[in-house]
Amino acid sequence: MRLKALFIIAIAGLFIACNSNQKQMESKTGTNPFFTEYDTPFGVPPFDKIKPEDYLPAFKEGIKQQDDEIDAIVNNPEPATFDNTIVAMEYTGELLRKVSNVFFNLTEANTNKQLQEIEKEVAPLLAKHNDNINMNGKLFARVKTVNDKKDDLNLSVEQKKLLEETYKGFVRGGVGLTGKDAEEFRKINGELSSLTVKFGENLLAETNAFKLVIDNKDDLAGLPDFVVEMGAAEAKADGMDGKWVFTLDKSSMIPFLQYSAKRDLREKIFKAYINRGNNNNEHDNKAVASKIAALRVKRANLLGFKTHADYVLDENMAKTPENVYNLMNQVWDAALPVAKEEAKTLQSMIDAGGGDFKLQPWDWWYYTEKLRKEKYALDDEQLKPYFELNNVRNGMFEVAHRLYGLNFKEIKDIPRPHPDAKAFEVLNDDGSLQAILYMDFFPRSSKRGGAWMDTYRKQYKTRDGKNVIPVVTMVMNFSKPTGTKPSLLTFEEVSTMFHEFGHSLHGMLSNCTYRSLSGTSVARDFVEMPSQFMENFASDPQVLKMYAKNYETGEPIPDELIEKMNATSHFNQGFITVEYTSAAYLDMDWHTLTEPVEKDVIEFENASMKKIGLIPQIVVRYRTPYFAHIFSGGYSAGYYSYLWAEVLDADAFEAFKENGIFDKKTADSFRTNILEKGGTEDPMVLYERFRGRKPSIEPMLKRKGLLK
């Protein structure tokens, strides 16, 4: 998942309705859906009624309302208390949050030129507004007054965490800066907000700009029927009937790389993918990335941190760059020799087949697929008929039912963020409503690549104690249905769906008082733990029997195929681990710079990969110009988080294997200690409460087949 870093970070408080301003605004622009309470089932956004011209007035009015609410707190004549300052702040900004939740979700999943122009205008406004709150000395004085006497306030664990996070938010938000330093800090935040938007827009444009168009059947050599049909469907959608089109969406590109016998075409699509943002055109991201990295160093230095990584990790479980590098080094030292052996094996296949060339990155998928078929008599073509999208989804829902007593009921008559999206009521066994879940499965030009979970509304409790249910969205880019077949997933896509569902459960099962601490509002290197934990169920034989059914016959996946899948669980793990970990190193190298000097991006990247000894047959998973996780998402100095969380998830799943994967007591403990708690306590405390001890790295290395 890539959690979206919204521009509004911090602050919430007492909601003050501005009726006169609202009526004025409505009279100027017509009825703006954001200015009234949503009159929709379950209070979901009225997507069908929201127009692009509604956003900017709502953002501006939302900023004004929150400014007024903050002023009321600052000017409260009563002495500062936890309730009239910390809690009051928590409930400010309702309108701003309301419009932000819709707008930024849609700019990721269903954007257009109009929304992109609005985003460019809104980004610096929000950065300035956020700075105005975080650097408000009078407001901080009240917060500090409460914080100074926290030991005498008899606060609950969650209240203590809210106070701690609020106080730290001001310190990290620049409240201690004055004069030129304060001005510089504000300027940097404004620039960064605009540059990160630009990076994402450039990447989307570059991804959409390339299409591999095939008009000669001979160029389809090696491609199985499902890949050919997928290419034909893409061509038809683009108005090119009779041709075949393959794109840089991974659901299109990876099958082409796996099966195409046309080495020149594999090279063409692969190079197009790895050179996104590196084409010296109007969408080039090299200068943007370099500028972002330099500004982050400068901001960290202003706040007293040596590097941006030190600034970020101070909030994470890892705490220091040294701890992150130590983890990565352990994994790298185990994985790199395995990857080198894999490369030798693939080169032997090329040589044995009379290929007079050295293994290149665009050959890896092709020969790996051949080797898997040769060694294990298994390939994606055999498995895909058992992974029909709806069957996988329903099996995933059944897992959630057996673990947590959840039931999923599709809702037809409800506003949806896109016509392709599905909506579900999530009900507990007693019939009570737990959440609303949207699922959006297929790629389109208006959607960025990858897969992620987010919320249109987080779970929290109102001032009078009423529980507000979350509205969660899962967004993917899976293989589309064709004219003759439904959407049939690769097992990688199956794992991705379970992964994002894990994030969604984290959001849907939240049981917190304060919105800023609820759901997935946890340390970056803990947030991936619930999602990666769910991936374990996707490949478990007991679960496979529940959902992996042949889409034509309804027959469950045979034991023989499950045994083959288990036999291949360590297959290609050197490549997979090295490709990922190299990107984690690249992220950390960019963000452990100590001076705000802009770099030659490609030169820096090459030096980073040379330092760790990345072999030339493997390209780092995300090169700098398209590394959206760290340059337009929320994972700067945090991409290692998947690896850190993998240690936790492998160790956690051991508890389920020890007691039975659907053991009620174990599932209840995981729910109450991990999924319900959000960021209300230190994540290691929560983990140890569930597991009874600290996590061990051995289960993760063992699962990957990397344990010596």
Residue 708 is predicted with a pLDDT of 62
Note whether 520 and 392 are same-domain residues: yes
Note whether 401 and 534 are same-domain residues: yes
Q: Which two tokens stand for residue 698?
A: 């051995």
Q: Which two tokens stand for residue 330?
A: 């352990």
Contacts of 65 (CB under 8 A, 6+ apart): 16, 18, 21, 93, 94, 95, 96
CA gap 509, 427 in Å, rounded: 11
Residue 104 is predicted with a pLDDT of 97
What pLDDT, in 10s, does the model give residues 165-207?
999 999 999 999 999 999 999 999 999 999 999 999 999 999 9
CA gap 691, 685 in Å, rounded: 10
Q: Which of 219, 248, 274 is the last residue of a domain?
A: 274
Residue 5 is predicted with a pLDDT of 37
Q: Which two tokens stand for residue 704?
A: 């990957």
Four-CA torsion 272, 273, 276, 281, nearest 10 degrees: 10
**CATH number of 498's domain:** 1.10.1370.40
Note whether 292 and 269 are same-domain residues: no
Percent of residues, the chain, with pLDDT higher than 70: 96
Identify which of 263, 484, 471, 491 has the alpha carbon closest to the alpha carbon of residue 359.
263
Note whether 150 and 66 are same-domain residues: yes
Note whether 358 and 483 are same-domain residues: no
- The helix (run of H) or strand (run of E) holding residue 409 is strand 406-410
Residue 615 lies in a domain: yes
Note whether 391 and 540 are same-domain residues: yes
Residues 253-273: b if buried by 16+ CB within 10 A, e if exposed: bbbbbbbbebeebbeebbebb
Residue 280 lies in a domain: no
CB-count exposure of residue 483 (10 Å: 0-12, 13-18, 19+): exposed
Specify the number of domains making up the chain.
Answer: 4
Contacts of 357 (CB under 8 A, 6+ apart): 263, 350
CA gap 164, 431 in Å, rounded: 37
CA gap 420, 462 in Å, rounded: 33
Q: Which of 619, 639, 659 is the last residue of a domain?
A: 639
pLDDT above 80 for 466: yes
Percent of residues, the chain, with pLDDT higher than 90: 93
For residue 516, report the phi and psi dihedrals to the nearest 5 degrees.
-70, -15
Q: Which two tokens stand for residue 473?
A: 């969205």
Q: Which residue is associated with the tokens 């972002």? A: 292
CA gap 267, 73 in Å, rounded: 60
CA gap 266, 444 in Å, rounded: 22
Q: Which residues are catalytic?
A: 500
Residue 664 lies in a domain: no
- The helix (run of H) or strand (run of E) holding residue 289 is helix 286-302
User: Can you list the alpha helix ranges (DSSP code H) found in 509-636?
Assistant: 524-538, 541-547, 559-567, 573-591, 601-612, 628-631
Contact 680, 517 (CB under 8 A): yes
Q: Which two tokens stand for residue 652?
A: 């956690």
Contact 641, 659 (CB under 8 A): no
DSSP secondary structure letter of residue 471: E
Identify which of 422, 439, 479 has the alpha carbon closest to the alpha carbon of residue 249.
479
614-637: average pLDDT: 97
Residue 179 is predicted with a pLDDT of 97
Note whether 300 and 223 are same-domain residues: no
Residue 682 is predicted with a pLDDT of 96
pLDDT above 70 for 26: no
CB-count exposure of residue 414 (10 Å: 0-12, 13-18, 19+): middle
Contact 554, 590 (CB under 8 A): no
285-300: average pLDDT: 98
* pTM of the predicted model as reported, rounded to 2 decimal places: 0.92
Q: Which of 274, 299, 329 is the last residue of a domain?
A: 274
Identify which of 655, 682, 676 has the alpha carbon closest to the alpha carbon of residue 666.
655
Note whether 85 and 124 are same-domain residues: yes
Sign of the CA dihedral with 610 first, then 614, 618, and 621 last: negative
What pLDDT, in 10s, does the model give residues 509-563?
999 999 999 999 999 999 999 999 999 999 999 999 999 999 999 999 999 999 9
Contact 299, 287 (CB under 8 A): no
Average pLDDT, the chain: 94
Contact 691, 655 (CB under 8 A): yes
**CATH number of 351's domain:** 1.10.1370.10
Residue 138 is predicted with a pLDDT of 98
Contact 489, 392 (CB under 8 A): yes
pLDDT above 80 for 20: no
Note whether 561 and 577 are same-domain residues: no
580-590: average pLDDT: 98
Residue 701 is predicted with a pLDDT of 87
CA gap 70, 92 in Å, rounded: 7
Note whether 75 and 161 are same-domain residues: yes
Q: Which two tokens stand for residue 259?
A: 């099966």
Note whether 510 and 488 are same-domain residues: yes
367-389: average pLDDT: 94
Contact 408, 472 (CB under 8 A): no
DSSP secondary structure letter of residue 453: E
Residue 4 is predicted with a pLDDT of 39
CB atoms within 10 A of CB 354: 6
Residue 166 lies in a domain: yes
Residue 11: pLDDT band (50, 70, 90) is very low
Residue 668 lies in a domain: no
Contacts of 388 (CB under 8 A, 6+ apart): 486, 487, 488, 489, 549, 551
Residue 103 lies in a domain: yes
Residue 30: pLDDT band (50, 70, 90) is low
Identify which of 81, 84, 62 has the alpha carbon closest to the alpha carbon of residue 72.
84
Q: Which two tokens stand for residue 506?
A: 């984290």
Residue 483 is predicted with a pLDDT of 84
- Please, what is the angle between helix 321-352 and helix 641-659, to 10°? 80
Residue 664 is predicted with a pLDDT of 97
- The helix (run of H) or strand (run of E) holding residue 436 is strand 433-440
Q: Which residue is associated with the tokens 């991990």? A: 674
Residue 12 lies in a domain: no
Contact 350, 617 (CB under 8 A): no
Residue 366 lies in a domain: yes
Q: Which two tokens stand for residue 182?
A: 């304060």
Q: Provide the domain limits for residue 431.
A: 385-567
For residue 93, report the phi and psi dihedrals to the nearest 5 degrees.
75, 30
Whole-angstrom Cα Rg for the chain: 25
Q: Which two tokens stand for residue 447?
A: 């959607």
Residue 2: pLDDT band (50, 70, 90) is very low
How many CA atoms are closer than 13 Å to the CA of 585, on its beta-carbon side?
26
CA gap 575, 645 in Å, rounded: 19
Note whether 120 and 64 are same-domain residues: yes
Cα→Cα distances 552→385, 390, 517, 634, 644, Å: 8, 13, 46, 42, 40
DSSP secondary structure letter of residue 209: H
CA gap 110, 106 in Å, rounded: 5
